[in-house]
Amino acid sequence: MAELKLRGARKSYGSVEIIKGLDLDVEDREFVVFVGPSGCGKSTLLRMIAGLEKITAGDLLIDGVRANDIDPSERGLAMVFQSYALYPHMTVAENMGFALKIAGVSAAEKERKVREAAEVLQLSHLLRQRQRVAIGRAIVRNPKVFLFDEPLSNLDAALRVSMRLELMCLHEHLAATMIYVTHDQTEAMTMADKIVVLNGGSIEQVGSPLDLYIRPANIFVAGFIGSPKMNLLKLKVAATGPKGVSVTLPDGQALTVPVAAGASKSGDELLLGMRPEHLRISANGQFKGRAVLAERLGSLTILHVEVAPEVTLVVQAEGGDRTPLHSPIALDISPSACHLFRTDGPALASLCNRREPWAHSLKPEN
C-alpha cells in the first residue's frame, strides 16, 4: 500500500508563493505525471513530497499519516533526479548498494537486493548506463513511492524513448506507486495513468491522458496537451440557443458548436478550438483557404492552411496527401469535434458526450 494525498499544500519563499494551495490524490500503484512549463513548480512540489523542502501550509498524507514533519529518510520514498549523484570511484554495484550500506543493511542482504535490481534492469550486461544505475539505487531501497524529477532529459532522443518504455515496464513489474515530473507532454501522455497539469504553482487539470486530450478544461490544457497543438481561433458569438453556441466564421457563415453558453452572449469573443486531425480537406468545407506549407512526415502530412489574412490552421492529413501549395482548398470539421473557450480560459461545457479523438474521422459527415 502506498497512497499519497496533498491537502491545501502551499510553498512560499519569503513573500513569493510558488505552490498555491494544491489538493491531489495519488492512488496505490498509480503512475502519476506532473507536467507543465519550466518554472511552474513541478520540482518544488516533488521536493515537498520527498521532504527536501518544508511545506509552508497544508498537509501531506502518506498512507493516511500526516508526513509534513517526518524526516525525508523515514518517509519511505526514493527520488531519482535529472542530475543524478553517482560516485565515480565506486563500481556500479557499489553505487547501487550505497544507500543500503549507509542504512546499515547486512552485506548479504545488500548483495541480494543489488542483484535483484540489476536483473530487473538488465544491468548485468549494460553496466555503463548511468541513469539505470540511479534508478537501481532507488529500487534497492524498496520505497513506498518512487519520485522521478525529469530523469530522462539529459539523454539523447533515441535513448529517451527506450528508457521511457523501460520505466513503463518497470512500473508494471514492480507494481509500485510512481510520481514522475516532466515538461514534455509526450512523456506525460505516453507514461501516465494520471496527468497533473501544473501552471504557475496551481493545478490546471487532473485526468487520464485521453481525458485531458478529449475534454481539456481550459485553453492552457488544450494548448499544452497534443502535438501538433490544437488550433485556437478568436471568433464572435452570433447567437446562443438550446443546440449550442453559434460563432461567425471568417467567411461570415455561422458554425453551431454543441456547448452550453453559460454567461456568453451574442457579440462576445470566444476561442474556437480544433484539433489538427479533426480538420478534413473537403470541397464544401466551412473554411476556405490555401495551403502555404506542408510538412511531409511519411505516416502523415501536416498542412498549414491560411484561411484569412494572418490566420493559419494546422491540419493533419494523410501521409499520401498531395494537396498543392497555394491553390484554393476548403476544410471541414464536425461541430461536435469543436471546443469553445472563454478568452479568460475556461472551456464551455459540452452538450454531447465527446467522442474519442479518432472517432470523428471514421466516417465522413453529411
Contact residues: ligand ADP, CB under 6 A: 13, 18, 36, 38-44
Q: Restricting to residues 3-22, which ones interact with Mg ion according to CB under 5 A?
A: none
Nearer to ligand ADP, 43 or 231 (CB): 43
Of the two residues 198 and 270, which places its CB atom closer to Mg ion in the complex? Answer: 198
* Residue 13 binding target from Mg ion, ligand ADP, none, CB below 5 to 8 Å by type: ligand ADP
Cβ 290 to ligand ADP, closest distance in Å?
40
41 binds, among ligand ADP, Mg ion, none (CB under 5 to 8 A by kind): ligand ADP
Q: Least distance from C-beta 36 to ligand ADP, angstroms?
A: 6
Q: Give the one residue of 26, 43, 92, 316 binding Mg ion; rule: CB under 5 A.
A: 43
Using the minimum distance from each CB to Mg ion, give the nearer residue, 185 or 286.
185
| Residue closer to ligand ADP (CB basis): 34 or 287 | 34
Residue 185 engages Mg ion in binding (rule: CB under 5 A) = no
* CB closer to ligand ADP, 13 vs 109: 13
Segment near Mg ion (CB under 5 A), from 42-50, 102-110, 198-206, 352-360?
42-50
From the list ligand ADP, Mg ion, none, partner contacted by residue 39 (C-beta under 5 to 8 A by kind):
ligand ADP
State the minimum distance, in angstroms, from the CB of residue 38 to Mg ion: 7
Please, what is the minimum distance in Å from the beta carbon of residue 33 to ligand ADP?
Answer: 13
**What burial letters (b/e) apply to 153-190, b meaning 16+ CB within 10 Å?**
eebeeeebeebbebbeebbeebebbbbbbbbbbebbbe
Which of 13/112 has CB closer to ligand ADP?
13
Rg, C-alpha atoms of the chain: 24
Query: Which three cell numbers mark 129?
Result: 548506463
Q: Which stretch binds Mg ion (CB under 5 A): 37-45, 110-118, 292-300, 337-345?
A: 37-45
Least distance between ligand ADP and beta carbon 17 (Å): 10
| Stretch of residues binding Mg ion (CB under 5 A), selected from 43-51, 188-196, 225-233, 343-351 | 43-51
Cα gap 331→252, rounded to integer Å: 15
- Residue 82 CB coordination number (10 Å): 17
In whole angstroms, how close is the CB of 204 to ligand ADP at the nearest point? 13
CB of 42 to ligand ADP, least distance (A): 3
39 or 324: CB nearest Mg ion: 39
Using CB under 5 A as the criterion, which residues of the chain lie in contact with Mg ion when the complex forms? 43
